[in-house]
Structure 1
Amino acid sequence: MPKKFLRAAALALPLALLLSACAGTAPEPGASSAAPESTGPVKIGVVGAGDAYWTTYKEAAAAEGIEIELVDFSEYTQPNPALSAGELDLNQFQHVIYLATYNVNASDDLVPVGATAIYPLGLYSTKYASVGDIPAGETVAVPNDESNEARGLLVLQSAGLVELQDGGSPFSTVADVLDTSKVKVEALDAAFTATSLPDVAAAIINNDFVEDAGLTFADAIATDDPSDPNALPYVNIFAARAEDAENPTYQKLVEIYQNTQEVLDGVQEASGNTAVLVKTPVADLLTSLHEVEDDIRANQ
């Protein structure tokens, strides 16, 4: 895993804090802050509003006096501009690296206001039962989007299939794959890595496309490690405009998500039981965001 990234070993709070279990039930009356008053529905942008846990979440929020309107988007590129433009109050679909990349490219300042989960990224194969079975010289596919290409390459490096220039980073590309690597790597559109399986030895497949490809998450022959401190930038988050970071209604909505067992069960079901549920402190999310933003600017 990269050494330069998260250079604030600060983010080195004990993993028990970063990856605290979210197995609690909804807070007892009086156990948390009172439900703030809401003057209208809170608009939350998501990608995949059809997942059943969103209905459960809306009901849990309504029980606390907060009305939610889910705004569903078909593409990941849409919710951040909509949030920035004031068409949304929050969004929940991305990890810290994705938000940092958007902020830098759009000169924006959206911020995380709460953590949800980390979703391990997997390597799949229809030809080989294990990483060790993949012969030298074979080709492995990775997604070509900015954040998942680097993450996929780091998975391959951890699995012993590639060596990356300078040990790799969250900004590595296939150009950083050293000639000493066991396999060759091809970057493809994320939607096509699964369909490439008949033609390659293995492929990194984004979680959204695993089941559509007729695979299960248990079929992965390698994944990244959510307990690694370097996984912090891959924590999925609720995001808001910077001026709304302390909004008590939004903070309450994060609490409801993190502490309602029925919601958490639904998240796990929708993820094929791969989600690692987290309550990462917002201060650590912000530190990670700013670290990644700085590194992106340094690499431009």
Structure 2
Amino acid sequence: MNKKPKKWLSLGVIIIIMLILSMLFVKSHSSNKSKTITVGSQATDTEVWKHIANSKVAKKYHVKIIVKDFTDSNSLNTALSNNDIQANAFQSYAFFTTYNKNNPKRKIFALGTTYIQPMGLYSTKYKSVKAISQNQTIAIGNDAASQSRGLKLLESAGLITLKKHDINDLLTPNDVIKNGKNLHIKSVISTTTPSLLHDRGIAAVAIDNNTAQAAKLNVFKNSIYYEKLDQNTRANVNVIATNEKHRNDSTYKKLVTIYHDPTIQSWIKKHYPGKMEIKKSISDLEK
């Protein structure tokens, strides 16, 4: 019997197997190659992303992150839509939706949520919201954003009821429709709010987290109430965004996974305890 056909058949099978293994190796090597993404950010968020960029977690997911610091919030989204950066992580969902509304031809796209910096209600006079008595004065910031957020905080705490409003509506004290304790709401300059904790005529003060941190106040330890993720506060949740070119790229979605890695979150909580992790889908914010 001629054994040459069997010999050539065996050799052919070996060659095919070697080719398949070679292709698998090349594919595996290619998939393990890190992809570079430039992430724009600002202030403390820049420090967070610098840490993430140098972390073992980023290497684990084969993502090379270059962090670019910005001082102007508006230029971050312009740079993103121009693809000067490929992602940014600095803005609230409200800021994100407002940008898209004003720039319909240069829209950006949210990849996922990161955190919220809760506004807190502080008091040296009362230890709980329920303890606040009738006819007391509560101070909130007087700029449009702080005033609206302060009012929504008071509503979440059960102290007042506001008229029906959309997520991005800016509210004023005139929008209070129920005030069971007859509270007097006083609008003051936002940066002065911590000093009012020593004012005997003020029962409680709504303080944004940046101002609170500057005054060495910890919203989780020192406030009598702070924002939770609900209908009033979801607009304040921060998001990671990208542009049209990368919106469906699976590598970019890894940025969200990396951010929420337990190791990364442990570092953030240690260095920036005011950043409360929010692990929600974008669809949850759109409801």
Taking structure 1 as the reference length, the TM-score comes to 0.68
Which residue among 67, 70, 75 is the counterpart of 2:67?
A: 70
Identity of aligned residues (%): 24
Q: Distance in 2 between matches of 1:50 and 1:167?
A: 33
Partners of 2:32 and 2:62 within 8 A in 1: yes
The structure showing larger relative contact order (alpha-carbon pairs under 8 Å, at least 6 residues apart) is 1
Q: How do 1:100-111 and structure 2 match up within 5 A? A: 100-107=97-104, 108-111=106-109
1:165 aligns with 2:167: no
Q: CA deviation at 1:215?
A: 1.4
Partners of 1:121 and 1:223 within 8 A in 2: yes
Q: Distance in 2 between matches of 1:195 and 1:154?
A: 22
Partners of 2:40 and 2:89 within 8 A in 1: yes
1:263 aligns with 2:264: yes
Q: How do 1:41-56 and structure 2 match up within 5 A? A: 41-49=37-45, 51=47, 54-56=50-52
Q: CA deviation at 1:222?
A: 1.3
C-alpha deviations, 1:238-295, integer Å up to 9, x for none?
A: 011233211233112222222x3221112222342761341x234x15x71xx6xxxx
Q: How do 1:1-300 and structure 2 match up within 5 A? A: 34=31, 37-38=34-35, 40-49=36-45, 51=47, 54-59=50-55, 60-74=57-71, 76-107=73-104, 108-131=106-129, 132-133=131-132, 135-142=134-141, 144-146=143-145, 148-166=146-164, 170-174=168-172, 175-178=174-177, 180=179, 182-188=182-188, 190-199=190-199, 200-217=202-219, 218-226=221-229, 228=230, 231-258=233-260, 260-272=261-273, 275-278=276-279, 280-282=280-282, 284=283, 288=286
1:31 corresponds in structure 2 to: none
Q: CA deviation at 1:123?
A: 1.0
Q: Distance in 2 between matches of 1:130 and 1:74?
A: 38
Partners of 1:140 and 1:203 within 8 A in 2: yes
Q: Distance in 2 between matches of 1:196 and 1:73?
A: 33
Q: Distance in 2 between matches of 1:156 and 1:145?
A: 16
Provide closer, same or farther for how the CA distance between residues 46 and 89 of structure 1 changes in structure 2, counting only shifts above 3 A: farther
Q: CA deviation at 1:206?
A: 1.9
- SS of 1:243's partner is helix
Q: Distance in 2 between matches of 1:166 and 1:177?
A: 10
C-alpha deviations, 1:88-127, integer Å up to 9, x for none?
A: 2111122212211222234442221122234433111234
* Unaligned ranges ≥5, structure 1: 1-33, 292-300
Q: CA deviation at 1:202?
A: 2.5
- SS of 1:128's partner is coil
Q: Which amino acid aligns with 1:82?
A: A
C-alpha deviations, 1:25-70, integer Å up to 9, x for none?
A: xxxxxxxxx55652x5523323315646741443232444332221
Partners of 2:53 and 2:64 within 8 A in 1: no
Larger radius of gyration: 2
Provide closer, same or farther for how the CA distance between residues 85 and 135 of structure 1 changes in structure 2, counting only shifts above 3 A: farther
Matched residues, number: 250
Q: Distance in 1 between matches of 2:142 and 2:84?
A: 30
Provide closer, same or farther for how the CA distance between residues 192 and 94 of structure 1 changes in structure 2, counting only shifts above 3 A: farther
Q: CA RMSD in A?
A: 3.3
- SS of 1:250's partner is helix
Q: CA deviation at 1:189?
A: 5.3
C-alpha deviations, 1:180-221, integer Å up to 9, x for none?
A: 463233445544433444454322222222221121221111
Provide closer, same or farther for how the CA distance between residues 249 and 158 of structure 1 changes in structure 2, counting only shifts above 3 A: closer
- SS of 2:44's partner is coil
